[in-house]
Amino acid sequence: MTSFRYIGTKRRAKEHPRFVSGRGRFVADIALPGMKHVALVASPHAAARIVSIKTDAARAAPGVLYVLTGEEFCANTDSLAIGVDAPKVTRFALARGVVRYAGEWVAAVVADSRALAEDAAERVEVEYEPLPHVIDPEAALAPGAPLVHPAHGSNLLYHRKFVWGPVEEAFASAEHRIAFRAVWGRSATVPIETFGVAAQWDAGTGILDIWASIQMPKFPDQAARALRLPGNAVRVHYDVDVGGSYGVKRGIKHTVLVGYLAKKLGVAVRLIEDRLENLRGGDMQGPDRFFDMQVAFGADGVIRAMKIRAVDDVGAYAGRSPFQLGKPVTAICGPYAIGAIEYEPISVMTNKTPQEAVRGFGQSPTNFAIERAIDRAARHLGMDQVELRKRNFIRKDQFPYTIPSGSTYDSGDYHGVLDETLAAIDYGSLVRARDEARRSGRLAGIGISSCLEPSGGNSAFEVLMNPKNENTTWMDSCLVRVDLSGAITGVIGNSSAGQGHESLVSTVLGEILERDPETIRVVRADSLTALPSNSPVGSRMAIMLGGAAAGAAKTIKETLIAIAAHNFECSPEDLEYRDGSVNVKGAPSKEFSWDQLVEIAHRKFHKLPPGIEPGLQAKFVWEVPTGGALPTPEGRIQIYPCYAFEAHVVLVEIDPDTCKPAIRKYLCGHDCGVMINPDIVHGMTYGGIAHGLGAALYEKFAYTEDGQLASGTFMDYLIPSAMEVPAMAIVDHCTPSPLTTFGQKGSGEAGYLGAPAAIANAVNDALAPLGASIDTLPMSHLAIWNAIGARKGAAST
Amino acid sequence: MKAAPFEYARAASLSEVCALLATHGDGAKLLAGGQSLVPMMAMRLVRPAWLVDINEIAELKFIAVEKDMARTGACTRQGAVERDHALAARVPLLRQALAWVGHVQTRNRGTIGGSLAHADPCAELPLVAQVLGARMLLRSGTGARTLEAEKFFAGPMATNVRPGECLEEIHWPAWSWRHTGSAFTEISVRHGDFAMVAAAAQVAIDGDGRCVRAAFGLGGVGGTPLAFPKIAGRLVGTRLDDAAVNDAAHAAATETQPGSDLHASAEYRRHLAGVLAARALREARERARSL
Ligand SMILES: Cc1cc2nc3c(=O)[nH]c(=O)nc-3n(C[C@H](O)[C@H](O)[C@H](O)COP(=O)(O)OP(=O)(O)OC[C@H]3O[C@@H](n4cnc5c(N)ncnc54)[C@H](O)[C@@H]3O)c2cc1C
């Protein structure tokens, strides 16, 4: 393997000193002169007609500038983008006429302070006439169900049955078949920073400036469209630190609302969600999905075919959320060589808070369902779960490997990673520890998951799920400048939510240009000056931004060599590049130093070769590798380009008397190709596992039958703390991707994609001796108690 | 999450507190550590017209360990009580319970009196007060009175503190038997959460290992923390063997009528009540035997 100078070495992340010393600049740090604050009036009903809204008392309250309602807002802005082909499922920041979920915003109050705005918001009088509502997705699909959007004609947003390969034949001839339902609870990433946005309209320039806590592709474009402004009238500032996201920081509705108010009122306006708004009306809840799984397999444990029916409840509006059923198409058989797959995604609307993208974009729920199927198949046959996995894994020598849904996996070594993981945790002694615990009367179980992390963020699920959408371009870019002093600056066109893009770009530029990354600065253009980016989604930036930075740096390097060749009057092939200087091969003293070359580029046109632009800068814009295609009629398509792999092994113990689970051991084997910054990859993975633990055992946006969010505060939406997250270890493995500059793959979703599956398998292994099982997340203490059943009189234990 | 408008006064003495309470009556709320009150105000679930801050009042912050009891001022921080070794030696249940109350950070701010006055049925300190039969000294502009724990707690988040009264100090009885052991245990979903069910027990045994006194109780299974003096009384004279302990725990659990919520059903809570009561009693017994 190529050796690198900076890539893969342990280096402090460039952004750490800033954050650790409290010098981050978040949206709440943006203080604009005369800035006003917004508070929201939210619907108490899951579904209701708005009979009237009286705003006089609120307007008369101290410090109040304006009260905006849906009538005015919807008449003057356009619907947010809908995603799938459902033009009647329009969506605005403020409800007009009807409300479709409890927590939906009905009016916005603008006042001198947030506290005054909240005081006035209480004085807005809204008269509602409750309407029938539906909370359960299966009930929503039944005939006669109350319609969330009557104009759409049903609650079904998307439904298609894909059949890739001879599924029925395989089921008919297989020796064994199992069927079960796996349920993924509605959870999310819940960042410590809620969503926030500040906006200011400059009537002189006609530009709306926006500072927001965002992680969203096409954000400036969508904001401008909804505000009926030309694209070049909206300037989104990307130099705002984002205090956590992993998908949910979309905030487009918030931004259109605040943008509208800022322009209309001619003052700077800010909205920072409080936690109650964030959880209930911030539209950031994740997939809410059940899977009807069927698997056909032989006595040898080899899986012949799989049927997956996935019903996903997106809540009251569409947005991009139905696409979270689409991304898993790109890894629909996991790491397994399964020849025939049926996949039936069904996207349903209910009167719940709308769903938003969450880490993995629907892949983690799907991985959970697949891994429960693997575990159940092994149990069904009485076969060791490791053995069954190995019999089905795609082998190292089979790559590139095209799966039935048409995506080609770039590379992998699944057997190798699993073996190393089991060796690192000492699987034999882990099994002995479990059996020992069982003998002493405790419930103990080992769970394994082996999952894929598709990466590269080619969002071809859009064209797959919406025939009217022909967007096949998912580029990213970087601009590199070397100034007259010889200092290097990388310019990127997106904000970061902790992914370490400054470390990424400086490392890559340093690697190619052989300059110390510590000296390289990375800055962010705003949306009017930026090169195109699709933002850090879909584990794409190591691949796409890393690749773009490398491409631009290579151009700089070629330019420097060309300048030297011109002045030495030799061919570039006769020269070598070392640490930024260029010398004649075999004659180290015949050299142009970095400073000399930079000076020629900037100031000595007479020494510049013809055809070379003065100054020293290069841009690189590229399309995602393997991207750009439309689906076949059967819905086969290449979505993501690169496939990282993770194997989790976990030992869980459950107190048989209290049903309290505890994780005793946790190890994750991880292969994301070449790691550009190992600390950042490991940090993402640790966090991903903790996040997965939340989804597996604790976190749920639960709704009451009357459509109220029952876990609307951190008293009830339970995020694991440092006390619940176990000590864990990571074993690195490296199978380079042949598709990327350095062999890197994505890793932003690492850990989360396999942790819920592994923990679910471990809990089930622990319950197995009792004949109990759980296929519903989160596996709360109560759920475990219910699964074990009424084991009465346990006071005697 | 901004509180509704309110007036604020920082009282310098207990008599000033009483005067302020007398003037503002029902509209006034005392602010102690603020760890329960402030979030409720931020969510506008509580809207006091006046907030009377008692944090600067020295006479409400003390720990005094006496022969047959310990006294704590109402505004003594939970963390201070937890760290006091002399107190832990005389009334060990307090430290044992405090380990389960919130987090280091909340205990550094939250007070003993605030927790008792808040009267969350799942809270740990009210359970200890109930099991030990703590006495609450209440002060108002017109005088003082003492309430036994069982009279103090009136229901979920409700006490018999009258408008105009301030909890001044709490008397925690200490047992004088040499072989006295106590234990606190609970189940919550996450560490530091309010208990789904909590159990506290204290037992004393004589030189022969016979129980001379026993007390235990359960939190999270009713509107107030519950003590079971009658059932505990049946343990006196026994050797606290597992069968006797389990019977007592089971009897107590059977008496409870817990509610259901998102995290625990009534059946699950009642089940946990039996398990935890038995565990607390056994652990207390082991401690008593080891002395
Ligand atoms: C994250 C977190 C976790 C927590 N976990 C737990 C837990 O596991 N168990 C638990 O028991 N608690 C828990 N708490 C609550 C914490 O223990 C509080 O400190 C306690 O409930 C209230 O005490 P305080 O001093 O903060 O009172 P405050 O919040 O200031 O007041 C609470 C109430 O008591 C009244 N009050 C206060 N002092 C007096 C007085 N002297 N006389 C009369 N009335 C008075 C106030 O007016 C108010 O109504 C948690 C809190 C947080 C923030």
Does residue B1 form part of some domain? no
Question: A647-674, pLDDT tens digit by residue?
Answer: 999 999 999 999 999 999 999 999 999 9
**For A275, which residue in chain B has the nearest alpha carbon?**
B1
Q: Confirm or reject: Cβ of B72 under 6 Å from ligand 1.
A: no
Facing A274 at nearest CB: one of B1, B192, B274: B1
pLDDT of residue A272: 98
Give yes or no for residue B211 having a pLDDT over 60: yes
Cα(B33) to centroid of ligand 1, in Å?
Answer: 6
d(CA A523, CA A620) in angstroms, rounded, equals 16
Q: Do both B63 and B157 map to the same domain?
A: yes
Give yes or no for residue A598 having a pLDDT over 60: yes
DSSP state of A579: T
Nearest to A650 by CA among A572, A725, A566, A586: A725
For chain A, which residues make up each domain, given as ranges? Answer: 31-131+195-272, 359-455+639-796, 475-622
Across residues A402-427, what is the average pLDDT? 98
Give yes or no for residue A793 having a pLDDT over 70: no
d(CA A628, CA A472) in angstroms, rounded, equals 5
Across residues A325-349, what is the average pLDDT? 98
Facing B187 at nearest CB: one of A660, A713, A790: A660
- With b for 16 or more beta-carbon neighbours within 10 A and e for fewer, the A234-247 pattern comes to bbbbbebbbbbbbb
pLDDT of residue A383: 98
Q: Do both B66 and B166 map to the same domain?
A: yes
Across residues A400-413, what is the average pLDDT? 98
**For B251, which residue in chain A has the nearest alpha carbon?**
A795
Atom of ligand 1 nearest to the CA of B30: 47
Cα(A331) to centroid of ligand 1, in Å?
Answer: 50
Contact (CB<8Å) B187/A790? no
- In a 13 Å sphere around the CA of A658, the CA atoms on its Cβ side amount to 21
Atom of ligand 1 nearest to the CA of B60: 41
B264 Cα to chain A: minimum distance (Å): 6
pLDDT of residue A791: 45
Using an 8 Å Cβ cutoff, are A126 and A55 in contact?
no
Tokens standing for residue A129: 């006439």
d(CA B239, CA B236) in angstroms, rounded, equals 8
Model confidence at A140, pLDDT cuts 50, 70, 90, reads very high
CATH superfamily for A31-131+195-272 is Aldehyde oxidase/xanthine dehydrogenase, a/b hammerhead (3.90.1170.50)
pLDDT of residue A2: 66
Nearest to A616 by CA among A489, A732, A738, A445: A489
Across residues B50-70, what is the average pLDDT? 97
pLDDT of residue A554: 98
Contact (CB<8Å) B189/A710? no
Q: Which of 227-256 (B) contact A at CB < 8 A?
A: 242, 246, 249-250, 253
Label each residue of B74-139 as H, E or C: CCCEHHHHHHCHHHHHHCHHHHHHHCCCCCHHHHHHCEHHHHHHHCCCCCHHHHHHHHHCCEEEEE
Report the interhelical angle of A427-439 vs A414-425 (nearest 10°). 50
From B57, B118, B124, B128, give the residue whose CB has the most ligand 1 atoms within 8 Å, as the site to mutate. Answer: B118
The top-level CATH class assigned to A475-622 is alpha beta
> Which residues of chain A have a CB within 8 Å of the CB of B196?
781
Domain A475-622 in the same topology as domain A31-131+195-272 = no
Please give the interface size between A and B, counted as residue pairs whose CB atoms are below 8 Å apart: 80
Give yes or no for residue A795 having a pLDDT over 60: no
Model confidence at A789, pLDDT cuts 50, 70, 90, reads confident
d(CA B53, CA A360) in angstroms, rounded, equals 48
Q: Do both B107 and B161 map to the same domain?
A: yes
Does residue B153 form part of some domain? yes
Contact (CB<8Å) B271/A698? no
A658 Cα to chain B: minimum distance (Å): 6
Does residue B16 form part of some domain? yes
Q: DSSP string spanning A367-392?
A: HHHHHHHHHHHHHHHT--HHHHHHHH
Q: Confirm or reject: Cβ of B32 under 6 Å from ligand 1.
A: yes
Q: What does residue B248 show for φ and ψ, rounded to 5 degrees?
A: -65, -45
Residue A602, judged by CB atoms within 10 A of its CB (0-12, 13-18, 19+), counts as middle
Does residue B2 form part of some domain? no
Q: What pairs with residue B72 in β-bridges? A: B63, B170
pLDDT of residue A792: 39
A782 Cα to chain B: minimum distance (Å): 6
Using an 8 Å Cβ cutoff, are A443 and A770 in contact?
yes
From B18, B41, B82, B106, give the residue whose CB has the most ligand 1 atoms within 8 Å, as the site to mutate. Answer: B106
Q: DSSP string spanning A402-441?
A: E-TTS-EE----HHHHHHHHHHHHTHHHHHHHHHHHHHTT
A792 reaches B (C-beta below 8 A)? yes
d(CA A587, CA A575) in angstroms, rounded, equals 9
B133 Cα to chain A: minimum distance (Å): 25
Facing A795 at nearest CB: one of B2, B264, B274: B274
Nearby residues of A96 by Cβ (< 8 Å), 6 or more positions away: A50, A70, A71, A73, A74
> Which residues of chain A have a CB within 8 Å of the CB of B191?
721, 723-724
Using an 8 Å Cβ cutoff, are A635 and A160 in contact?
yes
Across residues A213-231, what is the average pLDDT? 96
> Which residues of chain A have a CB within 8 Å of the CB of B272?
658
Question: B150-198, pLDDT tens digit by residue?
Answer: 999 999 999 999 999 999 999 999 999 999 999 999 999 999 999 999 9
- Average of per-residue pLDDT values in chain A: 96
What angle is formed at CA A461 by the lines to CA A458 and CA A466, rounded to 5 degrees? 135
DSSP state of A460: T
Q: Which of 304-363 (A) contact B at CB < 8 A?
A: none
d(CA A76, CA A81) in angstroms, rounded, equals 16
In 3-state terms, what secondary structure has residue A125?
A: strand
Instruction: Kindly list the distances between the CA atom of residue A771 and the CA atoms of A379, A765, A788, in Å, as whole numbers in the listed order.
Output: 12, 10, 8
Beta strand spans in A426-487 (E): 443-455, 476-482
Give yes or no for residue B267 having a pLDDT over 70: yes
B4 reaches A (C-beta below 8 A)? yes
Q: Do both B20 and B104 map to the same domain?
A: no
Q: To probe the interface with A, which of B262, B269, B279 has the most A CB atoms within 10 Å?
A: B262
> Which residues of chain A have a CB within 8 Å of the CB of B265?
782, 785-786
Task: Give the domain CATH number at B44.
Answer: 3.30.43.10
Task: Give the domain CATH number at B193.
Answer: 3.30.390.50
**For B5, which residue in chain A has the nearest alpha carbon?**
A119
Atom of ligand 1 nearest to the CA of A714: 1
Structural domain including B12 reads 7-53
The top-level CATH class assigned to A359-455+639-796 is alpha beta
Q: Rg of chain B over CA atoms, in angstroms?
A: 19
Question: A487-531, pLDDT tens digit by residue?
Answer: 999 999 999 999 999 999 999 999 999 999 999 999 999 999 999
Facing A794 at nearest CB: one of B44, B191, B274: B274
Residue type, A551: G
Question: A699-720, pLDDT tens digit by residue?
Answer: 999 999 999 999 999 999 999 9
pLDDT of residue B25: 85
Q: Confirm or reject: Cβ of B114 under 6 Å from ligand 1.
A: yes
pLDDT of residue A1: 52
d(CA A234, CA A528) in angstroms, rounded, equals 8
Across residues A47-61, what is the average pLDDT? 98
Helix (H) / strand (E) containing B51: strand B50-53
Contact (CB<8Å) B278/A793? no
Q: Do both B13 and B108 map to the same domain?
A: no
Q: What pairs with residue A445 in β-bridges? A: A652
Question: A737-772, pLDDT tens digit by residue?
Answer: 999 999 999 999 999 999 999 999 999 999 999 999
Give yes or no for residue B200 having a pLDDT over 50: yes
For residue A404, cis peptide bond before it (omega within 30 degrees of 0): no
Q: Do both B96 and B150 map to the same domain?
A: yes
Instruction: Write the Ramachandran bin of A33: left for phi over 0, alpha for psi from -120 to 50, otherwise beta.
Output: beta
Does residue B273 form part of some domain? yes
- Average of per-residue pLDDT values in chain B: 97
Give yes or no for residue A794 having a pLDDT over 90: no
d(CA B200, CA B216) in angstroms, rounded, equals 5
| Total structural domains within chain B | 3
Nearest to A328 by CA among A355, A368, A356: A368
A713 reaches B (C-beta below 8 A)? yes
The residue whose CA has the least distance to atom 40 of ligand 1 is B167
The residue whose CA has the least distance to atom 39 of ligand 1 is B114
Beta strand spans in B128-243 (E): 135-140, 143-148, 153-155, 158-159, 166-173, 179-187, 197-205, 211-219, 226-227
Contact (CB<8Å) B262/A702? yes
Give yes or no for residue A796 having a pLDDT over 70: no
d(CA A309, CA A332) in angstroms, rounded, equals 12
